[in-house]
Amino acid sequence: MTKSLHKIKALVIDDESHARENLKLLITEFCKDLEVVGEACGKIEAIEVIKKTNPDVIFLDIRMPSGAEGFELLDAIPNKTFQVIFVTAFKDYAIKAFNANAIHYLLKPLDIEELISAVEKIKTNKTAIEDSSEKYADYYKRLEQLTANLSDSKSSKITINHSKGIKIIEDSTIVRLHAEGNCSKLFFTDESTYLDTRTLKIYETLLDTSKFFRVHKSDIINLDFLSEYSNQDGNFAIMNNGDAISISRSKVNGFIERIKNI
């Protein structure tokens, strides 16, 4: 069966292969007006695929392996001709920013009704911006404002609750974090450690991804303290203090791409 020429061309960008596959399946099943014309796992690959496919919309995972939460990708494309649906696990300040700028987003885990709703908004907006150069310019101005706000919004300080109150620390003092059950163990530059009741998933949201990279489901490292990548007998991030942190196979490509940009 010949595909309709009027289908909206979509590109899926996410560093997790299973996330890309899941989203593509949902789009194929529930969004018949869309055709997935390509996918990418990181900034460099995404730029090339965008050039080749000229998509109408990209589904962009905020936490790209570039370390700039996906916004670096948008900054690298000066003449954007596509709309963006951000895919995010954020549920706090970022959502307010999306809503304030009227930019489309989906929360992880993905909800089918929210996906359908976001696509309908894209279809309506596509007609509007194609018919008006002013609306076209306004959309990208709002998109750039959003990316600027969220890129600059990460604080260098985070708070840790403890039995005697709240401790405020500089994220630059954290060498790495390791999951211990539903808790996170923080390793600091002075060789002290701290066990926090928050999960790594929460810390992944709190920490600045230009500095921190989740190399494994159990580990986040501070790239400022990375000394070496080793693929001998596995894949490991070697820290300045000699710690060898295992890198999961699903994270290796994104990790290598990230450190090439250091």
Lowest-confidence segment of 53-62, 113-122, 157-166, 202-211 by average pLDDT:
157-166
Contacts (Cβ under 8 Å, ≥6 apart) of 161: 167, 196, 197
Query: Quick check: 13 and 58 in contact, CB under 8 A?
Result: yes
- Mean pLDDT of the region 92-109: 76
- Look at residues 127, 129, 143, 106 and name the one whose alpha carbon lies nearest to residue 30: 106
Do both 31 and 118 map to the same domain? yes
Residue 102 lies in a domain: yes
SS3 state of residue 76: coil
- Asked whether the whole model's pTM tops 0.85, one would answer no
How many whole angstroms separate alpha carbon 38 and alpha carbon 256? 22
CB 22 within 8 A of CB 92: no
- Decide: 76 and 48 in contact? Cβ < 8 Å: no
pLDDT mean across residues, the chain: 85
Q: What average pLDDT does this structure show over 11-17?
A: 89
Q: Is 1 within the bounds of a domain?
A: no
pLDDT, residue 68, reads 46
Residues 17 and 144 in one domain: yes
CATH assignment of the domain containing 44? 3.40.50.2300
- For the chain, where are the E strands, in sequence order? 8-13, 34-40, 57-61, 83-88, 105-107, 157-162, 165-170, 174-180, 183-188, 193-196, 212-216, 219-222, 226-230, 236-239, 244-246
Of 118, 151, 184, the domain-final residue: 151
**Residue 93 above 70 pLDDT?**
no
Is position 210 within any domain? yes
Whether residues 180 and 134 share a domain: the answer is no
Q: Is residue 220 within 8 Å of 235, Cβ to Cβ?
A: no
Does residue 35 sit in the same domain as residue 88?
yes
Q: Which comes out higher in pLDDT, residue 242 or 140?
A: 242
Where does a domain end: 151, 179, 199?
Answer: 151
Q: Domain for residue 19, yes or no?
A: yes
The CA distance from 151 to 1, in Å, is 44
Check residue 149 and give its pLDDT. Answer: 65
- Which CATH number is 246's domain given? 2.40.50.1020
Residues 6 or more apart whose CB falls under 8 angstroms from that of 76 comprise 43, 47
Q: How many domains does the chain have?
A: 2
Residues 46 and 163 in one domain: no
Find how far residue 12's CA is from the centre of its chain.
12
- Residues 14 and 120 grouped into a single domain: yes
Query: Residue 221: what pLDDT?
Result: 97
Same domain, 143 and 166: no
Q: Please give the Cα distance from 181 to 219 (Å, whole number).
A: 12
Most confident of 79-88, 146-155, 240-249: 240-249
Give per-residue pLDDT as tens, 15-65: 888 889 999 999 999 999 999 999 998 888 899 999 999 999 999 987 654
- Residue range 205-217: average pLDDT? 86
The total number of residues written for the chain in this structure: 262
**Same structural domain for residues 183 and 86?**
no
* Structure-block tokens of residue 158: 């985070």
User: Taking 90 as the threshold, does the pLDDT of residue 146 lie above it?
Assistant: no
Between 81 and 240, residue with greater pLDDT:
240
The reply to whether 142 and 199 lie within a common domain is no
Identify the domain containing residue 105 by its residue range.
8-151
**Is residue 164 over pLDDT 90?**
no
